[in-house]
Structure 1
Amino acid sequence: MIQDGDVTLADSNAILTYLALRYDDAGQWLPRDPVKAALVQRWLSVAAGPLAFGPGNARIAVLFKRPRDERAFELSANLLKVMDGVLARQRFLVPGDVPTLADIALYTYTAHAPEGGVSLQTYAQVCRWLAEIEALPGFVGMVRSPVPEAA
């Protein structure tokens, strides 16, 4: 949840969109170009779907000692394969030389996937992208949890 003046918002994607439209006059984070804006929206949908239900659920199962969810691992593998393919052709998730909300929205659950037993080792472009996001000025990551031995 975020409180910004008189505005209170929940939902990470809604918060990201609000912050970009409210404070990013240059339009880097949410491009004004219709195609790039649509691509950002596509990735925001991925963040709320396959990312949350794949790597996100796998991590939750491990951290809260719940039964292993095989569907989470299938979703994770499919998503990481798609992301790796996209990132093999371009620097960030949306074409261009600057990150967008798409990169922010997908970063954390992807970076923390190994905490759920989802290995990133075979996804070289995803690993490159994670390192590039982590090298951005002002980057502050989420505290890491222990990684299971299998990851």
Structure 2
Amino acid sequence: MKLYHYPLSGHAHRARLFMSLLGIPHELVEVDLKSGAHKTPEFLALNSFGQVPVLDDNGTMISDSNAILVYLATKLGRTDWLPTDAKGAAGVQRWLSVAAGDVAFGPAAARLVTVFGAKFNPEDVIGRAHVLLKRLEAHLADRDWVVGTGPTIADVALYSYLSSAPEGNVDLSAYPRVNALLRRIEALPGFVPFAKTAVGLAAAA
């Protein structure tokens, strides 16, 4: 398998992390977003949306990080990572939606401001991040993992942009359960870290 990625993309890290946790041999193909490589005709032929990551599974092309998580778990029959019972599957889907919505427009957007110079209103996106973090902190009051009793792709989908939230000036210190979740993910066999950038609150870390 090949994974087209960019090291500073949390979406790309999400896919890379899961492949590593599953022990899937793969080749990393870096797409230089800063030079516009994701907008070339060659890359657009892989993903017409011009985004990383893209998974090439022997000619089967899967784009979108959450879709890649679902594809890999389903192909390999990893029902531990993607439950097939109605309640478990719905629970995972709910948090994949959070990753694509609340995370993308909260901590991920806040990081885009500091790392890539995005034109979001910092106060707005940081505020959204804290709304999400408070909800997740409450959700984790009686559980170690987001869904069920073990790690699932829901946890993987949340990890990259939550762990890097301080780069976007989102302070995680008030959320001990969220921090504990991040540490549990980091302790999993096969974990690979997300590239760090010394910006925002992380500049002084």
- Normalised TM-score (structure 2): 0.69
How large is the RMSD of aligned CA atoms in angstroms? 1.5
Which residue pairs with 2:182 in the alignment? 130
C-alpha distance in 2, partners of 1:134/1:52? 21
**Residue 151 of structure 2 aligns to a residue in which SS?**
coil
C-alpha distance in 2, partners of 1:133/1:50? 20
Deviations 1:87-117 (A, max 9, x none): 1210100021x10010000000000000000
C-alpha distance in 1, partners of 2:94/2:78? 21
Matching of residues 37-76 of structure 1 within 5 Å: 37-67=89-119, 68-76=121-129
Residues 138 and 149 of structure 1: is their aligned pair in 2 closer, same or farther, counting only changes over 3 Å?
Answer: closer
| 4+ runs deviating over 6 angstroms | none
Q: Which amino acid aligns with 2:183?
A: A
**Residue 56 of structure 2 aligns to a residue in which SS?**
strand
Deviations 1:26-59 (A, max 9, x none): 4011101110110100000000001011000000
Q: Which runs of 5+ in 2 are unaligned?
A: 1-53
1:32 to 84, 109, 114: 84
Which residue pairs with 1:90 in the alignment? 143
- Normalised TM-score (structure 1): 0.93
C-alpha distance in 2, partners of 1:9/1:71? 32
Q: Which amino acid aligns with 2:109?
A: N
Q: 2:92–2:152: 8 Å Cα contact kept in structure 1?
A: yes
**Residue 53 of structure 1 aligns to a residue in which SS?**
coil
Larger Cα-atom Rg: 2
Which residue pairs with 1:101 in the alignment? 153
Matched pairs, number: 149
Q: What is the identity percentage for the equivalent residue pairs of Structure 1 and Structure 2?
A: 46
